Structure 1
Amino acid sequence: MTVTLSDDARQYIQAFDQLTGITPVDCLVREARLVFVVPVGEMGEAIGPHGETVSEVEAEFGQSVDLVEDAVDAEGFIANCLAPAAVRNITLSEQGGSTVAYAEVPQADRGVAIGADGESIETTRELAARHFDIDDVQLT
Structure 2
Amino acid sequence: MTRAFLVLGAAMRAPGQPGPALIRRAEHAAALWRAAPEALILASGAGGEAEAIVAICRAAGVPPDRLICESRARSTAENLAFCRPILAARGIARVTLVTDGYHAPRALFLARRAGIEADADSPARPAGPPGRHAMRLLREAAAVAKALALSATRRP
TM-score of the two chains, using structure 1 as the length reference: 0.35
For CA contacts below 8 A with separation 6 or more, give which structure has more relative contact order: 2
Q: Which has the higher strand share?
A: 1
TM-score of the two chains, using structure 2 as the length reference: 0.32
